A and B are shown apart, each in its own frame.
Chain A
Amino acid sequence: KAGVTQTPRYLIKTRGQQVTLSCSPISGHRSVSWYQQTPGQGLQFLFEYFSETQRNKGNFPGRFSGRQFSNSRSEMNVSTLELGDSALYLCASSLDSGVNTEAFFGQGTRLTVV
């Protein structure tokens, strides 16, 4: 069974640009969550999607957005990139994060903004 796949693995962008990250969940998983990891901050929740609907959103500015497609694949977009957006972006999939179940993470996309 294939795991969670995130593309690309590494990305370098300049300030002001926008970026789109992709996540393919485990087959059969309908919930996809996105997290930002920066040193000393742990994993900060960005948003969660289930059946193409955003069910929860973290405390990030509107420059961060996402969507989920009918096949459960998800994308997140960051517009007008800032240096502080440099981080590891992690995607996690689960059967349904609304019930007691574990989430499985991809390897992440390392975004560097210069």
Chain B
Amino acid sequence: DQQVKQNSPSLSVQEGRISILNCDYTNSMFDYFLWYKKYPAEGPTFLISISSIKDKNEDGRFTVFLNKSAKHLSLHIVPSQPGDSAVYFCAGLGTYKYIFGTGTRLKVLA
């Protein structure tokens, strides 16, 4: 039962443009969501989070949007930079555990 889904395994974007990564979830009990970035051979790095009482959270070039009725969240990166090329995971906080999606590989083209 995949409670958190990232349906796009990969995404390519031109440098300077917007990257939009999507995530859907099925568990209505999630009230906290996170995005992580992962480079090869490294552990995931925390990027940004959002509480279910909000619909938007912004941190520099990164903005996360939450649509509770659609059980959907998205991560916007503006402007995209080559260093943003990585695998991005979304996660929902369940009962004493973070439930992750399978990730989206973002490639930012110079």
Contact = CB atoms under 8 A, between A and B. Distances in A.
Contact of A97 (B36, B41, B93, B102): B93
B43 A107 contact: yes
Interface residues of A, number: 29
Contacts of A103: 34, 46, 98
Contacts of A56: 95-97
Interface of chain A: mostly helix, strand, loop or mixed = strand
Contact of B96 (A6, A41, A48, A106): A48
Contacts of A90: 43-44
Interface of chain B: mostly helix, strand, loop or mixed = strand
Given A42-B89, A100-B32, A100-B51, A105 B99 contact: no
Contacts of A40: 102
A70 to B, nearest CB: 19
B42 A42 contact: no
5 contacts: A56-B97, A58-B97, A100-B93, A102-B34, A103-B34
Interface of A: 4, 6, 31, 33, 35, 40-43, 45, 48, 50, 55-56, 58, 90, 92, 97-98, 100-108, 110
Given A31-B96, A35-B100, A105-B44, 8 more contacts: A42-B101, A43-B98, A45-B100, A56-B97, A97-B96, A98-B96, A102-B46, A104-B46
Q: List the 5 closest A-B pairs by CB distance, nearest first.
A: A105-B43, A42-B102, A100-B32, A56-B96, A43-B100
